[in-house]
């Protein structure tokens, strides 16, 4: 018998805050709030669809497609890599980055991929219908930004 390794889908997600320190969240078809992001593109053989050059580039593309915001992805959020089971038997590896919004004057918009867009303070997030992994990543990113702003000069929000 030939061994066939399991393949896990990977989804890159981003915690992006507006100028009022509210996190951007999207409501999905399961009626859960989630962070913007998605899968890396592997490209098409004919070159019509280019592959993403990195997870960060994929996240930046996904957030722009889903919300209209331009962001710079990075760094990885401590504790932001986790396994999610959106439906029984389906597991996804979630990799979460903190993001700097490069277009803070542009209001975000919701794409056809989601039902609703919302802006929430870190204090509102624990009460939302969303997976704990997202809540933990948001708390970690907001805590880092509030407690050590001098260390985050490269990722400072405008």
Residue 91: strand pairing partners: none
CATH 3.40.50.300 is the classification of domain 10-153:
no
Least confident of 71-75, 104-108, 135-139: 104-108
CA-closest candidate to residue 96, choices 68, 70, 73, 129? 73
Could you tell me the residue ranges of all domains in the chain? 10-153
Taking the mean position of all CA atoms in its chain, how far away is CA 74? Answer: 11
Per-residue pLDDT tens digits for 116-145: 999 999 999 999 999 999 999 999 999 865
pLDDT digits (tens, 9 = 90+) for 38-64: 988 887 778 777 788 899 999 999 999
Q: What is the DSSP track for 55-112?
A: HHHHHHHHHHHHHS--EEEEEEEEEEEEEEEEETTEEEEEEEEEEEES-TTSPP---T
């Amino acid at each position: 018998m030939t061994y066939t390794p399991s393949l896990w889908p990977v989804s890159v997600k981003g915690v992006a805050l507006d100028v009022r320190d509210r996190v951007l969240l999207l409501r999905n078809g399961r009626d859960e709030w989630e962070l913007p992001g998605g899968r890396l593109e592997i490209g098409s053989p004919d070159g019509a669809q280019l592959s993403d050059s990195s997870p960060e580039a994929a996240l930046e593309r996904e957030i722009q497609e889903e919300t209209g915001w331009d962001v710079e992805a990075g760094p990885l959020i401590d504790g932001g890599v986790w396994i999610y089971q959106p439906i029984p038997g389906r597991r996804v590896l979630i990799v979460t980055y903190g993001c700097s919004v490069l277009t803070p004057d542009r209001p975000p918009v919701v794409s056809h991929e989601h039902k609703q867009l919302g802006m929430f303070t870190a204090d509102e997030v624990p009460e939302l219908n969303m997976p704990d992994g997202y809540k933990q990543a948001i708390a970690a990113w907001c805590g880092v930004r509030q407690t050590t702003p001098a260390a985050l000069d490269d990722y400072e929000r405008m």
